[in-house]
């Protein structure tokens, strides 16, 4: 048996708690983000070389769950999460470029992984409160749908020992700043899922959610939790596909795999870095960002300067104040050490469009705008002579962003079946002003 692992706040002002408490809370009471007291270490030889994504995830996450009430359920939680694959597919024209395809889940973006894992954990946690739990989720486009799909009433057959969880999901998204199909997806659930279109940016939505979670009076009236990438229940499982891909590559080739991660709020990339820190055979990690250059500027040597997000064609990455930066700083407290272990680059809309057009015409490969930022950065490395193996993290299916991609291709894209089913349902979202009070009032009105 390994030692129990406890979780503390990045800001150092909250008591150490077991993992399930950190998952249930979302944000630490002092406003910081939960992190383990220390990252565990794992030997790659500990993994079954013939394991599935779900068994890799269970091995990887076991030390994070050590001593927690959820430990015994971890294999079942992983099996419930990974009902779809995250294949590593080599490009025909360049076999050392591998697409790590994370879009085969119910809502066609990688956010399904974290959302399904979080839902599987929350379903199994003892209820502190007999009242319904309200899960707040700020989304730049894809998170909201993934969380809604994971908690929506109709799907999912809970295990016989798992009671149905009385949960409602409240989604906040920046009105007019998500793709039309994303907006439709967010509004199509109904039942226990409420979509609010906020007259502001993603950073406003994120701030409003944080304010509500930190509002003791509101929390007393209405039990709240969050499903943003600030939640450990979403961050931790995202290590699994990076680990599984790197292990598969390592077993086949005996070398570490470099990873290029399209980055917004820094959840996916941080999960990759944590997987590397705990001992998985991951080589270089680079972040590709859109025109929102908060991280690229920091990695170029500037002070960390969060700012207002600007709208781009890779809208799920329109983040000016990436919340997981606090966890990155915790992981690498020394800025110089951090800059030595990681790079970040900004890719503007023209380069995103060019990359999509060029790869479709030259190679018949179609990427979503977010994935295209990473492909663009790798194209630059290839032009500079880098011939090593790189996994490009493909974060969403291009058909989710048809309004950007189709005009570039000049023909319609095939729509994955699950996405097509959502688009066929009616959709509805309520407008909301971009201030903390407006969300508090809306939630208070919703009280039973
Ligand atoms: C959320 C998202 C990103 C950014 O991921 P972070 O974890 O926020 O850095 C990139 N691409 C797509 C398609 C996304 O939905």
For residue 422 and ligand 1, the question of a CB distance below 6 A is answered with: no
Which atom of ligand 1 is nearest to 142's Cα?
A: 15
In Å, how far are 85, 263, 312 from 292, measured between CA atoms? 30, 10, 8
Global pTM reads 0.93
Q: Is the pLDDT of residue 230 over 90?
A: no
Q: What is the pLDDT of residue 164?
A: 58
Confirm if 77 and 120 have CB atoms less than 8 A apart: yes
Number of residues in the chain: 448
CATH of domain 85-109+233-413: 3.40.50.1100
Give me ligand 1 centre to Cα 71, in Å.
28
For residue 316 and ligand 1, the question of a CB distance below 6 A is answered with: yes
Decide if 111 is catalytic. yes
Inter-axis angle of helices 180-187 and 143-151, nearest 10: 20
Which atom of ligand 1 is nearest to 368's Cα?
A: 13
Token pair for 167: 């949960």
Q: Is the pLDDT of residue 231 over 50?
A: yes
Confirm if 396 and 101 have CB atoms less than 8 A apart: no
Q: What is the pLDDT of residue 163?
A: 55
Q: What is the pLDDT of residues 335-389, one digit of tens each?
A: 999 998 899 999 999 999 999 999 999 999 999 999 999 999 999 999 999 999 9
DSSP-assigned letters across all residues of 372-441: HHHHHHHHHHHHTT--S-EEEEE-B-GGGGHHHHHHHHTSPPPPPHHHHHHHTS----EEEESSHHHHHH
Secondary structure of residue 51 in the 3-state scheme: coil
Q: What is the pLDDT of residues 19-68, one digit of tens each?
A: 999 998 888 989 899 999 999 999 999 999 999 999 999 999 999 999 99
The residue to mutate among 106, 140, 231, 317, having the most atoms of ligand 1 within 8 angstroms of its beta carbon, is 317
Question: Which residue among the candidates 82, 100, 108, 111 is catalytic per the annotation?
Answer: 111
In Å, how far are 152, 155, 396, 399 from 371, measured between CA atoms? 28, 29, 7, 13
Boundaries of every domain in the chain: 85-109+233-413
Q: What is the pLDDT of residue 141?
A: 81
Distance, in Å, from the CA atom of 99 to the CA atom of 249, rounded to the nearest integer, reads 12
Confirm if 323 and 202 have CB atoms less than 8 A apart: no
Q: How confident is the model at residue 165 (pLDDT cuts 50, 70, 90)?
A: low
For residue 229 and ligand 1, the question of a CB distance below 6 A is answered with: yes
Q: Is the pLDDT of residue 448 over 70?
A: no
């Amino acid at each position: 048996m390994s030692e129990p692992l406890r979780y503390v706040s990045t800001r150092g002002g909250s008591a150490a708690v077991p993992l399930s408490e950190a998952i249930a809370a979302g944000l630490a009471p002092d406003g910081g983000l939960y992190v383990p007291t220390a990252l565990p270490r794992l030997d790659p030889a500990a993994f079954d070389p013939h394991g599935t994504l779900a068994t890799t995830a269970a091995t990887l996450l076991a030390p994070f769950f050590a001593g927690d009430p959820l430990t015994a359920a971890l294999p079942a939680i992983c099996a419930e999460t990974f009902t779809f694959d995250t294949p590593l597919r080599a490009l025909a024209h360049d076999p050392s470029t591998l697409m790590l395809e994370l879009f085969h889940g119910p809502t066609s973006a990688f956010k399904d992984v974290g959302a399904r894992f979080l839902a599987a954990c929350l379903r199994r946690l003892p209820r502190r409160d007999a009242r319904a739990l309200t899960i707040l989720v700020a989304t730049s486009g894809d998170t909201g749908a993934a969380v809604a799909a994971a908690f929506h009433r109709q799907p999912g057959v809970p295990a016989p020992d798992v009671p149905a969880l009385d949960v409602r999901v409240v989604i906040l998204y920046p009105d007019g700043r998500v793709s039309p199909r994303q907006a439709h997806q967010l509004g199509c659930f109904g039942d226990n899922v409420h979509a609010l279109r906020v007259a502001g940016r993603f950073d406003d939505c994120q701030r409003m959610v944080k304010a509500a979670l930190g509002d003791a009076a509101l929390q007393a009236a209405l039990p709240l939790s969050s499903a943003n990438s600030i939640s450990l229940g979403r961050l931790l499982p995202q290590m699994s596909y990076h680990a599984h891909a790197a292990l598969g590559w390592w077993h086949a080739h005996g070398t570490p795999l470099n990873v290029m991660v399209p980055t917004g709020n820094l959840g996916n990339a941080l999960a990759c870095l944590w997987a590397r820190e705990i001992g998985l055979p991951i080589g270089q990690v680079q972040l590709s960002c859109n025109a929102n250059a908060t991280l690229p500027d920091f990695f170029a040597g500037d002070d960390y300067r969060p700012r207002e997000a600007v709208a781009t064609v890779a809208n799920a990455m329109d983040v000016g104040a990436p919340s997981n930066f606090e966890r990155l700083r915790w992981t690498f407290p020394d800025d110089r050490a951090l800059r030595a272990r990681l790079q970040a680059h900004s890719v503007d809309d023209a380069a995103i469009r060019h990359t999509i057009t060029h790869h479709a015409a030259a190679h018949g490969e179609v990427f979503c705008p977010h994935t295209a930022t990473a492909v663009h950065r790798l194209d630059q490395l290839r032009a500079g002579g880098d011939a090593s193996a790189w996994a490009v993290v493909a974060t969403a299916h291009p058909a989710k962003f048809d309004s950007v991609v189709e005009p570039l291709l000049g023909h319609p894209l095939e729509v994955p079946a699950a996405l097509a089913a959502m688009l066929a349902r009616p959709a509805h979202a309520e407008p909301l002003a971009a201030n903390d009070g407006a969300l508090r009032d809306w939630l208070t009105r919703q009280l039973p």
